[in-house]
Amino acid sequence: MVLKNLNRITEGRKQDVTQAKPKRIYKAPALEKGLEIIELLATRQVPMSMTEIATELGRSGNEIFRMLAVLEQKNYIRKGENGDRYCITNHLFDLGMRVPPNSTLIEHLVPLMRELAETIKQSCHLSVRSGNHIVVIARVENPASVGFSVRVGTSRGLLESAAGRVFLAWLDEGDRGEVLRDLVKGAGAADKRRKLDDELGMIRSLGLAKIPSTFITGITDVCVPVTAGHPRKIVATLTVPYAAGSDAPLTLEETVPLVLEGVSGMSKVAATFRGF
């Protein structure tokens, strides 16, 4: 009986040791270097020379040279017009959009976006969050003769667009606080944070953002969250860059409720997809 008990204790200890064994970490130096380059270029969003990339990553030019050549051959990066600076391409974005549910969701939402654009005679685009940025993943042109639109693949900081502010407004309080601590820094950060919190609270209460474009004078961005199964579960944003003019049959005030109605239908569609 004593031997049996000792065996049980020994087996239990073996299991504890096995469970406590740290997860093995594998190394792939070349792959790590390539990913570091892609992440750096994606973060900076400005063309960088080989020397700048090597310095930023703390690596030698010889280490970086081959990586850049291969990444360029595989179309993950490209050289700018001057020929000595590199920038990231949309290749990773294109690959990501082929993966369900994103690709399927776009297929189902674009027809609804076309219906909305036809009704309001304005363009619209769909954006998703990527870290501290938003990325445009689909757009529909204004069916009228003249209009304004944003190209697919455009990336902006969360604080630089109506779509980014909507994503921030729909984050839960803990996550939003963590993101804003990273984004709002420096002199006057406390005042900026208070103003931003008030603005995001207003966006949540209204259910949309309606603010002048930070890029084009005369454009008002109307941005509404596309939710999935729950009002607080945001998966994308639908933005209408409203441009007043002779080709615009509706006023901004008339356009907003139609956008809300259209996005309500898109949210119902998004709720049917697994993975959101």
**Nearest Cα to Cα of residue 158 among 187, 181, 129:** 129
In tens, the pLDDT along 227-252 reads 987 767 899 999 999 998 767 889 99
Is domain 94-270 in CATH 3.30.450.40, yes or no?
Answer: yes
Q: Is 94-270 the same fold as 29-89?
A: no
**Nearest Cα to Cα of residue 189 among 198, 181, 178, 200:** 181
- Euclidean distance between CA atoms 237 and 228, whole angstroms: 11
Architecture of domain 29-89: Orthogonal Bundle (1.10)
Q: Has residue 1 got a pLDDT over 50?
A: no
**Each residue of 111-139: b (16+ CB within 10 Å) or e?**
ebbeebbebbbbbbbbbbbeeebbbbbbb
Reported confidence tier of residue 22, pLDDT bands at 50, 70, 90: low
Structure tokens at 96: 């990501």
In tens, the pLDDT along 112-155 reads 999 999 999 999 999 998 888 888 989 999 988 777 888 888 88
- Euclidean distance between CA atoms 208 and 162, whole angstroms: 9
- Spell out the domain ranges in the chain: 29-89, 94-270
pLDDT confidence of residue 232: 73
In tens, the pLDDT along 183-194 reads 888 788 889 999
**Dihedral Cα 95, 41, 234, 189, nearest 10 deg:** 180
Q: Has residue 10 got a pLDDT over 60?
A: no
Q: Has residue 95 got a pLDDT over 80?
A: no
Q: Has residue 258 got a pLDDT over 90?
A: yes
Question: Rounded to the nearest 5°, which phi and psi values hold at 179?
Answer: -65, -45
Reported confidence tier of residue 104, pLDDT bands at 50, 70, 90: confident
Considering only residues 166 and 178, tell me which one the structure prediction assigns the higher pLDDT.
Answer: 166
Considering only residues 17 and 111, tell me which one the structure prediction assigns the higher pLDDT.
Answer: 111
pLDDT confidence of residue 96: 63
Which amino acid would we find at residue 121?
Answer: K
DSSP assigned state of 129: E
The sign of the dihedral angle between the CA atoms of 169, 172, 173, 179 is negative
pLDDT confidence of residue 23: 63
pLDDT confidence of residue 84: 83
Reported confidence tier of residue 205, pLDDT bands at 50, 70, 90: very high
- Euclidean distance between CA atoms 126 and 163, whole angstroms: 9
Residue 117, sorted as left (phi over 0), alpha (psi -120 to 50) or beta, turns out to be alpha
- Euclidean distance between CA atoms 276 and 271, whole angstroms: 8
DSSP assigned state of 201: H
The DSSP secondary structure of 134-177, one letter per residue, reads EEEEEEE--SSSS-----TT-EEETTSSHHHHHHHHHS-HHHHH
In tens, the pLDDT along 75-90 reads 888 887 667 888 888 7
- Of all residues in the chain, the percent with pLDDT exceeding 70 is 84
Across the chain, where does the E strand assignment appear? 48-49, 77-79, 85-88, 124-130, 133-140, 155-157, 209-212, 219-227, 234-243
pTM beyond cutoff 0.75? no
Q: Has residue 159 got a pLDDT over 50?
A: yes
